Structure 1
Amino acid sequence: MFSISLGDDGAELRPLEPWRAEEFLAHMDRGRQFVGQYIGLADAVTDLASSRAFLRAYAEKAAADTARIYGVWVDGKLVGGVLFRTMDIEHGTAEAGCWLEPAAVGRGLVTRAARVIIDWAVEERGIHRVEWLVSAENQASVAVARRLGMTKDGVLRASYPHRGARHDVEVWSVLAPEWRAGKQNA
């Protein structure tokens, strides 16, 4: 297994694999209310069986080269993650996303982790367009999209049903040439 340092604060990015189901469930239990405000992950992972099934599904998608999931650990504790919810290598598109438990917020972990996976997707896999779909109410995630140098493409009005309400979804994206230019200017 590999890990990638996300800085000198003990933060690491690692694959989030099925054998980590218990750790993933404990992490979801710590952050369930916070994570579940805007995304369905907290509702999908509720017990050990669903945790295993969720991670197994991503392992199968990784094997099929259609998605990836990574955890963010700080000092050996899983505190969040980033993923490619979808990857279409043939068309050069991917949708990235993230989540964090409350104790990890405000440290730049998601931005740093997302930079690693986006750079890999663009430079190693030939992805041309990386999208970031976010509830319009989730200003922390919108701020990550901005820090990643993404452009707001528009709003999908009332397109995301979550916990009994429909939410507007902002679509942000970065294209490979923009990504590369942003890296050179950083």
Structure 2
Amino acid sequence: MFAVPLAENAELRPLEPWQAPEYLEHIERGRAHIDAWIGWAGLATDLDSARTVLQRYADRQAADTARLYGIWLDGTLVGGVMFVQFDAKSGTCEIGVWTEPAGQGHGLVTTAVRHLIDYAFTTRGMHRIEWHNRPENSRSRAIAQRLGFTLEGVMRESYLHGGVHHDGEVWSLLTHEWKPQGAPAS
């Protein structure tokens, strides 16, 4: 198993089906916060459904169409990052994130996303990465801006969540716009 350090006390690791109990505990702690923005928390309501969510991503990883990683802070799962979609043939993918309140304010999500971007562009040769969020999600929006994504537009009332149609922003980052970690400044 691999772990990528994000900070002295935090790491990024694959999130796999055998971790369903830990994942469910994390979702329970952060359910209200996570569900305010995305339906992700509602997918895991008991151990079986938590395992199903993680297995779905394991299967999609095996098919090279998605990937799921957890963020651990002081040994506790507090959030994660994912390739929501990964299309190697077309060279496009989408990155998504979530966190419970204990994972906020440490820069962990931004650092984890940097690793996913490096992997997508440098290792896998992707051309375009998308980032989707609701306009009022200032934390998500700030990550996209910090990492150099360009706002392409707002899809009006395109996202149904909690019985309400929400606007959705679409951001993108192209391979020639990204400077890999550790690359010299120009």
| Category of TM-score, reference length = shorter chain | over 0.9
Following TM superposition, where does structure 1 have runs of at least 4 consecutive aligned residues deviating by more than 2 angstroms? 180-186
User: Is the CA contact (8 Å cut-off) linking 2:87 and 2:93 kept in structure 1?
Assistant: yes
Instruction: Say which SS state the counterpart of residue 180 (structure 1) adopts.
Output: coil
**How far 1:184 sits from its partner (Å)?**
4.3
Between the aligned partners of 1:68 and 1:36, the Cα distance in structure 2 is 21
Tell whether 2:74 aligns with 1:75: yes
User: How is 1:21-100 mapped onto 2 (pairs within 5 angstroms)?
Assistant: 21-100=20-99
Between the aligned partners of 1:168 and 1:21, the Cα distance in structure 2 is 32
**How far 1:181 sits from its partner (Å)?**
7.5
Counterpart in the other structure of 1:119 = 118
Between the aligned partners of 2:42 and 2:155, the Cα distance in structure 1 is 23
Counterpart in the other structure of 1:5 = 5
**Counterpart amino acid of residue 173 in structure 2:** V
Q: Could you tell me the TM-score, scaled by structure 2's length? A: 0.96
**How far 1:40 sits from its partner (Å)?**
0.6
**Counterpart amino acid of residue 3 in structure 1:** A
Between the aligned partners of 2:152 and 2:146, the Cα distance in structure 1 is 15
Between the aligned partners of 2:78 and 2:15, the Cα distance in structure 1 is 12
Between the aligned partners of 1:135 and 1:176, the Cα distance in structure 2 is 24
| Number of aligned residue pairs | 185
Higher mean displacement: 81-90 or 174-183:
174-183
Between the aligned partners of 1:184 and 1:168, the Cα distance in structure 2 is 38
**How far 1:107 sits from its partner (Å)?**
1.1
Counterpart in the other structure of 2:101 = 102
Between the aligned partners of 1:130 and 1:86, the Cα distance in structure 2 is 10
Q: CA RMSD in A?
A: 1.3
Tell whether 2:144 aligns with 1:165: no
**Counterpart amino acid of residue 100 in structure 1:** T
**How far 1:54 sits from its partner (Å)?**
0.3
**How far 1:73 sits from its partner (Å)?**
0.2
Between the aligned partners of 2:65 and 2:128, the Cα distance in structure 1 is 15
**Where in structure 1 are there 5+ consecutive unaligned residues?**
none
**Counterpart amino acid of residue 108 in structure 2:** L
String of CA shifts for 1:86-120, please: whole Å, max 9, x gaps: 00000000000100001111111110000001100
Between the aligned partners of 2:112 and 2:137, the Cα distance in structure 1 is 18
User: Is the CA contact (8 Å cut-off) linking 2:34 and 2:99 kept in structure 1?
Assistant: yes
